[in-house]
Amino acid sequence: MQTLRRTPLYERHAALGARLVPFAGWEMPVQYTSISEEHRAVRTTAGVFDVSHMGQLKLEGDGAHEYLQGRLSNDLDRIGPGEAQYTLLTNEDGGITDDLIVYRREDRYLLVVNASNTEVDHRVLSETSDVSGEWALLAVQGPEALERLGIELAPFTWRDEEVLGVRCLVAGTGYTGERGCELGCDPSQAPALWDAIVERGVVPCGLGARDTLRLEMCYPLHGNDITPERTPIEAGLGWACALDKEFTGVDVLRRQKEDGPAERLVAFVMEGKGIPRQGMAIAEGGSVTSGTFSPMLQRGIGMGYVPADVAEVGQEITIDVRGRPQPARQVKKPIYERKDA
């Protein structure tokens, strides 16, 4: 039986009565009160997530830039020191080994990768160092997140700064579609930082709300919406691929972009009361990769792959919800948009 790892904030989660579940080899909080309440807190005020299970890889030195430029899909020349970039690690077939965020500091790079892929990514990016144990990571997200922390920060920038008495890497990134930041700190300092954030009225949130929030924004989840068998062109992530440079699998992606993929990842909203779930069949072809009940729209939403000739905003598709055909309509991404945005 696998022994689950625990983050430096495990005791805080247990004390708050969080429901703890296995996730990517870790014992993580899925919710504290309810997924809906935590979701709405992030959309209206601010919430804090423990994401210390995420992996971190480091590379520095004279050849760091060229090494990563030849292996990651996006163009590192587009960012400078103090900036961050969403990018993909692809395989020889153009499939997505992982999606990640890269933070640049001169000739030093920090990559934040999916927890379940840390070992795989480190093996592929063999010149990197796995420094995951050196970091705790908290995500503070929501329209009031930065104000409650007393900081100003532009999206996809980062800097070293003291936050609420703790020295942190402060990054304008996140997985909810809201303004906010991710705070990386020494694991020993994480409990004090968590306490100070919660004392500011920021709501503790679990993985359940993180999933519903990201799906409303159509942010893909590796293992569901993107996999080593799916390409960025199929997944609608071609914008994160600099096809004019060389990286693993780029020739496959160039051809697929030219010819067009056989299937595309689409977003949809259920027309009735049905709630889609991963693996449910789509009558027109393909299947649901992510599905849930949207707390903001108060109806079922999801993403799934369908034949390219079916993939069209506004077109109806049919989801097999536990043996019952339920109509859904394809929508433009993201599924949810703030009305005052």
CATH code of the domain in which 183 resides: 3.30.1360.120
Distance CA 318, CA 119 (A): 38
Q: State residue 107's pLDDT score.
A: 86
125: containing domain: 56-130
Residue-level length of the chain: 341
What pLDDT, in 10s, does the model give residues 238-265?
999 999 999 999 999 999 999 999 999 9
Q: Are residues 143 and 116 in the same domain?
A: no
What pLDDT, in 10s, does the model give residues 79-98?
999 999 999 999 999 999 99
Instruction: For residue 284, tell me if it sits in a domain.
Output: yes
Q: Are residues 43 and 176 in the same domain?
A: yes
| 112, 130, 148 - which closes a domain | 130
Instruction: For residue 71, tell me if it sits in a domain.
Output: yes
SS3 310: coil
**Which one-letter DSSP state was computed for residue 34?**
-
Q: Name the amino acid, one letter, at 139.
A: A
Q: Which residues in the chain show pLDDT less than 70?
A: 1, 340-341
Whole-angstrom CA distances from 227 to 7, 220, 285 are: 26, 10, 19
Q: Are residues 95 and 43 in the same domain?
A: no
- Rounded to a whole number of angstroms, the distance between the first and last alpha carbons of the chain is 48
Q: Are residues 169 and 22 in the same domain?
A: yes
Q: Are residues 104 and 151 in the same domain?
A: no
Q: pTM for this one?
A: 0.96
Q: State residue 2's pLDDT score.
A: 72
Q: Are residues 116 and 161 in the same domain?
A: no
Q: State residue 340's pLDDT score.
A: 65
Q: State residue 283's pLDDT score.
A: 98
Distance CA 329, CA 212 (A): 19
CATH code of the domain in which 125 resides: 3.30.70.1400
Q: Name the amino acid, one letter, at 235.
A: A
Q: Are residues 38 and 62 in the same domain?
A: no
Q: Are residues 186 and 87 in the same domain?
A: no
Instruction: For residue 198, tell me if it sits in a domain.
Output: yes
Distance CA 75, CA 68 (A): 10
Q: Are residues 303 and 324 in the same domain?
A: yes
CATH code of the domain in which 280 resides: 2.40.30.110
Q: Quick one: how far is CA 106 from the chain centroid?
A: 25
Q: State residue 170's pLDDT score.
A: 98
Distance CA 125, CA 67 (A): 9
Percent residues over pLDDT 90 in the chain: 98
SS3 341: coil
Q: Are residues 198 and 102 in the same domain?
A: no
Q: State residue 339's pLDDT score.
A: 77
Q: Are residues 153 and 14 in the same domain?
A: yes
Q: Are residues 113 and 143 in the same domain?
A: no
Q: How many domains does the chain have?
A: 3
The strand order across the sheet containing 287-294 reads 287-294, 299-307, 263-270, 324-331, 316-321
Q: State residue 75's pLDDT score.
A: 98
